[in-house]
C-alpha cells in the first residue's frame, strides 16, 4: 500500500503508539479528514488496516495494551456532517458521531425517542457520554450496548456508506454475532434513520446492571407499543439486549399484543412469551436463569405500567 506518497499532508498527524517492532513509536498514521468524501477515500484505500476512531471509548480500551498493533487511525471527529441530528415530517436522522450527551439532551429526541435519549443518558457516566458516540455503540456491536434495544424497538435503519454507494440496512440485519456485524472494510457507518414515531406511542426502557453507573448492562429492555384512540394495540415491538448473541426483537411478543386492548392484556403471558424468545448465557454479569427471570419481570411490569398510563 503506497500510503506515504498518496496521503494529503494536511490530514495527517503522528500518534505515539507504544514501542514495538511492528509499528515504532510515533509512526502510526493518524488520518483526520474534514470531509466524509475524504474519509471514504481513506476507507477504500486502507480498509480494515486503518482503525476507525470516533469517541475512542471502546477502541482505546480494546487496544489499551496493544496500541502498537495499530498501523493507522482514521479519526472521524473533524467531519461535521457525521455529527448532525435532523428531524423532518417522516424521519429522524442521527449522524454516526453524535455523542450520547447530545442525544440525551436533545429536546426533540427526548420528545420523539425517549427510550434512546434515556439510554444515552445512562451510558457509562458523563465523561463517557461526552465522548462516546451512537455510531461507536452500534459498530462495537456488543449485545449489551445500551442504545441497541431502543434502536431496534424504533425500527431504526443504519446507513453504511462507501465510495461505491450506500447500503441501508435494518438494524437487526446489521448484527451477526457478539461484537460482529456486516460492515465491509471500505464502509463507514454514517447515519441512523428512524421513522418518526406517531403521537400514540407508549414505551419503556430499562437497564439492569450490577451498580448504577459505569457498568456494562446485565440486561436491557425496550418495549414500544402503538395504540389507536380506543386503546387497541396497532403495533408493538419488544427488544432486549444481553440475552442473546446479538440485541434482539422478540417478534412473538409483538404478534401476541397486536389487536388486543392494552388494558386487557395478560401481562404475565407477555412475560412468558418474552422469556421463550431469548437465549441468554451465564457470564460475569448474570446467570442464564437470572436473565430469564429479569426479562420476565421487567416485561410484565412494563406492560402493566403502560396499561395504567392510558
Ligand X SMILES: Cc1cc2nc3c(=O)[nH]c(=O)nc-3n(C[C@H](O)[C@H](O)[C@H](O)COP(=O)(O)OP(=O)(O)OC[C@H]3O[C@@H](n4cnc5c(N)ncnc54)[C@H](O)[C@@H]3O)c2cc1C
Other C-beta atoms lying within 10 Å of the C-beta of residue 125: 12
Distances from the Cα of 16 to the Cα of 27, 69, 70, 78, 91, angstroms: 7, 12, 10, 20, 42
CB of 181 to ligand X, least distance (A): 9
Cα 41 from chain centroid (whole Å)? 25
Specify the DSSP element, H or E, that contains 85. strand 85-87
Q: Is the CB of 208 or the CB of 306 nearer to ligand X?
A: 208
Closest CA to 211 of 125, 288, 281: 125
Mention every residue, 6+ apart, whose C-beta is less than 8 A from residue 40: 161, 162, 163, 186, 188
Identity of the residue, 97 or 270, whose beta carbon is nearer to ligand X in the bound complex: 97
CA–CA gap between residue 197 and residue 146 (Å, rounded) = 20
Among residues 120 and 265, whose Cβ is nearest to ligand X? 120
Show the binding pattern over residues 207-246: x = contacts ligand X (CB under 6 A), - = does not: -------x-x------------------------------
Asked if 85 contacts 93 with a C-beta cutoff of 8 angstroms, the reply is yes
Site for ligand X, residues 20 to 59, rule: CB under 6 A = 51-59
Distant-in-sequence, close-in-space partners of 105: CB < 8 Å, separation ≥ 6: 117
Min dist. Cβ of residue 203 to ligand X (A)? 18
Contact code string over 77-96 relative to ligand X, x by CB under 6 A: -------------------x
- Give least dist CB 162 to ligand X, A: 11
Q: How far is the CB of 63 from ligand X (least distance, A)?
A: 9
For ligand X, the closer CB: 126 or 305: 126
Nearest to ligand X of 95, 271 (CB atom)? 95
Pick the closer one to ligand X by CB: 126 or 310: 126
Is 79 or 253 the residue whose CB approaches ligand X more closely? 79
The least distance separating ligand X from the CB of residue 134, rounded to whole angstroms, comes to 7
The H-or-E segment that residue 255 falls in is helix 251-257
Instruction: State the CB neighbour count (10 A cutoff) for residue 212.
Output: 9
Pairing of strands 50-53, 72-75: parallel
Q: Which residue has the cell 464502509?
A: 187
Rounded distance, CA 250 to CA 180, Å? 20
> Minimal distance in Å, beta carbon 217 to ligand X?
6
Number of residues interacting with ligand X: please give it, by CB under 6 A. Answer: 29
Closest to ligand X by CB, 124 vs 231, is 124
Cβ neighbours for 307, distance < 8 A, ≥ 6 positions apart: 262, 263, 265, 267
Task: Check binding of 61 to ligand X (CB under 6 A).
Answer: yes
109 contributes a contact to ligand X by CB under 6 A: no
Kindly state the smallest distance separating residue 8's Cβ from ligand X, in Å: 20
Beta-bridge mates of residue 189: 160
Interaction mask 116-155, ligand X, x per CB under 6 A: -------xx---x--xxx-xxx-xx----xx---------
- Residue ranges that bind ligand X, judged by CB under 6 A: 51-59, 61, 76, 96, 123-124, 128, 131-133, 135-137, 139-140, 145-146, 188-189, 214, 216
Amino acid at each position: 500500500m503506497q500510503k506515504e506518497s498518496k496521503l494529503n499532508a494536511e490530514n495527517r498527524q503522528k500518534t505515539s503508539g507504544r514501542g514495538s517492532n511492528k509499528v515504532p513509536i510515533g509512526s502510526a498514521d493518524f488520518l483526520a479528514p474534514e470531509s466524509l468524501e475524504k474519509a471514504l477515500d481513506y476507507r477504500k484505500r486502507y480498509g480494515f488496516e486503518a482503525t476507525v476512531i470516533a469517541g475512542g471509548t471502546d477502541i482505546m480500551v480494546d487496544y489499551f495494551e496493544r496500541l502498537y498493533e495499530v498501523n493507522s487511525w482514521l479519526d472521524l471527529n473533524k467531519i461535521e456532517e457525521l455529527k448532525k441530528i435532523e428531524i423532518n415530517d417522516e424521519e429522524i436522522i442521527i449522524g454516526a458521531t453524535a455523542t450520547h450527551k447530545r442525544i440525551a439532551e436533545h429536546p426533540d429526541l427526548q420528545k420523539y425517542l425517549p427510550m434512546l435519549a434515556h439510554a444515552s443518558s445512562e451510558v457509562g457516566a458523563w465523561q463517557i457520554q461526552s465522548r462516546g458516540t451512537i455510531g461507536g455503540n452500534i459498530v462495537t456491536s456488543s449485545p449489551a450496548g445500551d442504545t441497541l434495544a431502543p434502536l431496534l424497538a424504533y425500527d431504526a435503519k443504519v446507513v453504511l456508506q462507501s465510495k461505491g454507494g450506500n447500503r441501508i440496512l435494518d438494524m437487526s440485519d446489521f448484527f451477526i454475532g457478539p461484537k460482529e456485524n456486516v460492515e465491509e472494510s471500505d464502509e463507514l457507518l454514517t447515519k441512523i434513520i428512524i421513522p418518526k414515531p406517531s403521537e400514540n406511542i407508549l414505551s419503556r426502557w430499562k437497564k439492569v446492571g450490577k451498580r448504577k453507573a459505569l457498568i456494562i448492562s446485565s440486561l436491557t429492555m425496550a418495549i414500544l407499543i402503538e395504540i389507536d384512540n380506543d386503546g387497541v394495540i396497532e403495533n408493538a415491538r419488544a427488544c432486549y439486549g444481553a440475552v442473546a448473541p446479538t440485541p434482539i426483537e422478540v417478534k412473538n411478543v409483538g404478534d401476541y399484543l397486536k389487536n388486543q386492548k392494552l388494558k386487557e392484556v395478560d401481562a404475565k403471558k407477555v412475560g412468558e412469551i418474552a422469556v421463550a424468545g431469548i437465549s441468554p448465557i451465564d457470564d460475569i454479569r448474570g446467570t442464564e436463569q437470572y436473565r430469564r427471570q429479569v426479562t420476565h419481570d421487567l416485561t410484565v411490569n412494563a406492560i402493566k405500567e403502560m396499561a395504567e398510563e392510558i
